[in-house]
Structure 1
Amino acid sequence: MISLFPALIKTVQAYARHPDPRVAAANVIALLVASNQPFYPFYLFWLVSPDITPAWFTFLSTPFFLAVPAIARWNTVAGRGLLPLAGIGNTVLSTWLFGAASAVEIFLVPCGVLALLLFRPGERWAGLALTALAFGVFLGLPDAYGPPLARYDAAEYAALARLNVISAGALTAFVALMFSGLLAQAEQSTDAAGDKKAR
């Protein structure tokens, strides 16, 4: 069983790999989100409430996150666009499931950030459209969800909001670190090219 783990890691790495660094970043982030989704019901149970019924419906978005690398091999713009789009869809679903008091809408922030970072200047229309969608959802849907699937008391909602804020913050920080690394690599390549020309 243990011997299967390295093989699984290699398979996942091969699935996420792409020569375009922005696409590779989208693939890694999508697979990271998908791999964390199975743990959400446990976090909910340990930190919020034994009523984790709504959490099972969040798995409806998992196939979309898992499909990002496959779609990106077919069309890189579509693959990168699917990541923030799946995140926005999952956030809308989760807000209906848990209610706005859960602060789950905070995940629209990393969705918007991703949309702005994943596309090049010539593809900026896609990033701006997805960012506008994220903010449009935040501004336009607060009163459209209706009653949530589950209801929690004030203390449980406070714990759930804290969990979502920490999770969204950690995801945003991971995205920032990943793209900071890509920027550093690009700068090193530029410096190396400049050194060669100077010789």
Structure 2
Amino acid sequence: MMSPLGTLVTAIRGYIRHPDPRVAAANAVAVLVASNQPFYPLYLFWLVGSDITPAWFTFLSTPFFLAVPAVSRWNGTAGRALLPLAGIGNTVLSAWLFGTASAVEIFLIPCGLLALLLFRPQERLAGFLLTALAFGAYLLLHDAYGPPMATYGANEYAALARLNVMSASALTAFVAVLFSNLLADAEHSAETSRGKKTG
């Protein structure tokens, strides 16, 4: 009999599975981000103390991340597009809540990277538009957020910035490894196909 944890893992794997490897990659990243969001208030409490009110509003984006695999079943392109859109929306919301001193805008980098990687050459316009949206959000909104919901001291902002930089770097590295594996699988398939033709 499978344990509850095993049942949950199997259910998650089934939820993110998709025959299109790029869609499956988007699904995996989306569920990973959503599964990490509940820990953010704990990180914030540890870093800056008891005033973690802004953290609760970041959960507004969680349903959009969780919806990516479901949307992908309906339309793979829409599901792939939803991931960077949810990431950009969450980053803009977080920058407004915490202020730009938190360095949370650095998450726009993996959002733009995902937009470029998730779409094939013939779909490149969609990727370019989403990437332009990510960097446009920084260029147009960075100085326009106004006072954040909560303000912290210099040490707290430095700690929050370190957390966001490390988290964004880890996410970017995960995306790089994920797509490196996709490329390796494609190369292996191509070699196998050539071997069958010459055999």
The TM-score by the shorter chain falls in which range?
A: over 0.9
How far 1:198 sits from its partner (Å)?
A: 1.6
How far 1:122 sits from its partner (Å)?
A: 1.1
| Counterpart amino acid of residue 150 in structure 1 | A
Partner of 1:32: 32
**Which stretch shows the higher mean deviation, 105-114 or 48-57?**
48-57
Partner of 2:56: 56
| Counterpart amino acid of residue 37 in structure 1 | Q
Alpha-carbon deviations, 1:5-41, whole Å to 9, x = none? 1111111111100000000000000000000000000
Partner of 1:112: 112
Partner of 1:20: 20
Partner of 1:176: 176
Mapping of residues 3-152 of structure 1, within 5 Å: 3-152=3-152
| Counterpart amino acid of residue 117 in structure 2 | L
Mapping of residues 178-193 of structure 1, within 5 Å: 178-193=178-193
Partner of 1:160: 160
| Counterpart amino acid of residue 63 in structure 1 | P
Which structure 1 residue ranges, 4+ long, deviate > 2 Å from structure 2? 47-50
| Counterpart amino acid of residue 23 in structure 2 | V
How far 1:49 sits from its partner (Å)?
A: 2.7
| Counterpart amino acid of residue 39 in structure 1 | F
**Which stretch shows the higher mean deviation, 189-198 or 45-54?**
45-54
How many residues align structurally? Answer: 198
How far 1:48 sits from its partner (Å)?
A: 3.0
Pairwise CA RMSD of aligned residues?
0.9
Percent identity between matched residues is 73
Q: Secondary structure at the match of 2:156?
A: helix
Alpha-carbon deviations, 1:75-120, whole Å to 9, x = none? 1110000000000000000000000000000000000000000001
Distance in 1 (CA, whole Å) between partners of 2:121 and 2:3 is 44
| Counterpart amino acid of residue 182 in structure 1 | L
TM-score (norm: length of structure 1):
0.98
How far 1:3 sits from its partner (Å)?
A: 2.3
Distance in 2 (CA, whole Å) between partners of 1:18 and 1:172 is 22
Distance in 1 (CA, whole Å) between partners of 2:180 and 2:144 is 37
Distance in 2 (CA, whole Å) between partners of 1:4 and 1:192 is 39
How far 1:197 sits from its partner (Å)?
A: 1.4
Q: Secondary structure at the match of 1:167?
A: helix
Distance in 1 (CA, whole Å) between partners of 2:12 and 2:176 is 22
TM-score (norm: length of structure 2):
0.98
